[in-house]
Amino acid sequence: MNAAYHIATAATLLGGLTLPAAATDDCPREEVAEHVRQQYDLYGPLSDGREYFGFIYRLDGAIRSAVTRSGRCTRGNCLTDTAGAAALIPRGAKILGEWHSHPHDGSAALSAEDVRGAKNNAHIRCYSAYYSKPDGEILSWEPGSTSVPVAMASRVSIGHFELQAEKNLMADTDRDR
Ligand SMILES: [Zn+2]
């Protein structure tokens, strides 16, 4: 595809379009990754028959997530309406990316919907995308990816959460709703 690629010059020098812009920009990628790992410590164990999705944003110097969850998944397939998370992003916040979990009985691979959803927001500066496998591995992928194979090839592991940790949060989360 010949569409303009903001980081084309740098990426070409380094050998490919799948390289994240991390090396050449001033985006808070490490802070975001740390925040994402914390989100998975909370929501990863809860992704038992459900999937959680968050938009990552920064407001007043703090990085947070606006989180929603899917309905009950059917055989590992979940329908998540990200509009619910978008509606929770405070006015004036700088959006930095997204993360979502796959349920514990779900797929280890990105879906076409995952790739399309991140691609729709890839024009946002500093946008990064993360998902977790059913075994708790957390991976980033290049949100500008135009297909599932390209997105899968761009993945980088950033950590792991414990599937059974903090089970008691389930009760707290439900009580707040
Ligand atoms: Zn997914």
Dist. CA 9 → ligand 1 center (Å): 30
Residue 176, H or E segment: helix 169-176
Output the pLDDT for position 25: 76
Task: Please compute the mean of the pLDDT values over residues 4-23 and round it to a whole number.
Answer: 41
Mean pLDDT over 147-162 rounds to 98
Domains recognised in the chain with CATH numbers:
14-176 (3.40.140)
| Residues 28, 57: Cα–Cα separation, whole Å | 11
Average pLDDT score over residue span 88-99 = 98
pLDDT computed for residue 75 by the predictor = 87
Q: Which residue has the tokens 């802070």?
A: 31
Residues 7, 24 contacting (CB under 8 angstroms): yes
Q: What is d(CA 44, CA 134) in angstroms, rounded to the nearest whole number?
A: 9
Which residues make Cβ contacts (< 8 Å) with residue 71, sequence separation at least 6?
A: 50, 78, 79
Q: Is the pLDDT of residue 69 over 60?
A: yes
pLDDT at 164 (0 to 100): 85
Q: 40, 42, 70, 29: which is closest to 137 by C-alpha?
A: 40
Predicted TM-score (pTM) of this structure: 0.80
Residue 101 CA, ligand 1 centroid: distance in Å:
7
What integer best gives the mean pLDDT of the chain?
A: 86
Separation of CA 65 and ligand 1 centre (Å): 17
pLDDT at 3 over 60: no
How far, in Å, CA of 102 to CA of 175, rounded? 23
106 Cα: distance to centroid of ligand 1 (angstroms)? 9
Please tell me the predicted confidence (pLDDT) of residue 174: 53
The alpha carbon of 112 and the centre of ligand 1 are apart by a number of angstroms equal to 8
Mean pLDDT of 19-25: 56
For ligand 1, the distance from its centroid to the CA atom of residue 52, given in whole angstroms, is: 10
